[in-house]
Every structure is written in structure tokens, then in C-alpha cells.
Amino acid sequence: MTSLSGNPWSLTGTTSAPRNMVVTPRGITLLGIDSVQLPIERRRAIWQQLETDMRPRHLAALTTEIPVTDVQSALDKIREGQITGRTVVSVAGRF
């Protein structure tokens, strides 16, 4: 599958969603693999590989976890360049 931008990928899970559901800043391209057509056994093998030998070595050092109540503040800091890396939003029991 080739998207309108010419990339031979589509964002996983959004191939049938309306285009206006995915909002990204200009110049940002979301790439993923549409794996829906793969047999479940193959998908499980790929996910297992992503969890082990393909997992980034320093992921924990690049990750900050925040409660959902701090999302607005974190977004402001990201826009200002004060936060880099990966931010995980914990939503369990916080709404």
C-alpha cells in the first residue's frame, strides 16, 4: 500500500479511519506497517522480536512517565523544547 505522500506504509490501525482523525504537525510523517493482512502467528512473532532484540537499548533512560493530569503542562514544555525523548502518559485511575 502506498499513501498519498508516496511512502509505502500506512499508520497501523488507521487505514480505514477517516483521514481527519490523525493530526500531525507540518513536516511530520507517521509511518507504520499495516499488518492486518498478516497471519496472527507472524504478527505475534514480529511483536515478540520488537519486545526483545529490536527494543532500543536505552529506552528507559529516554522515557518519562507522567499522569494524565499533567498532559497539558507536558505539551507546553514539549513545544518549548524543554522535554525530549519519550513521554508515557499513565491514565490508570487518574480521570
Write out pLDDT tens, residues 66-87.
999 999 999 999 999 898 888 9
Asked whether residue 23 falls in the same domain as residue 33, the answer is yes
Euclidean distance between CA atoms 94 and 24, whole angstroms: 26
Where the chain has pLDDT below 70, the residues are 1-25, 30-31, 33, 93-95
Provide DSSP, 1-45: ---TTS-S---TT-TTS-GGG----TT--------TTS-HHHHHH
pLDDT score, position 38: 85
pLDDT score, position 30: 67
Euclidean distance between CA atoms 95 and 75, whole angstroms: 18
Asked whether residue 1 falls in the same domain as residue 38, the answer is yes
Q: Which domain holds residue 76?
A: 57-95
Asked whether residue 61 falls in the same domain as residue 44, the answer is no
pLDDT score, position 95: 57
Asked whether residue 61 falls in the same domain as residue 43, the answer is no
Asked whether residue 44 falls in the same domain as residue 65, the answer is no
pLDDT score, position 92: 80
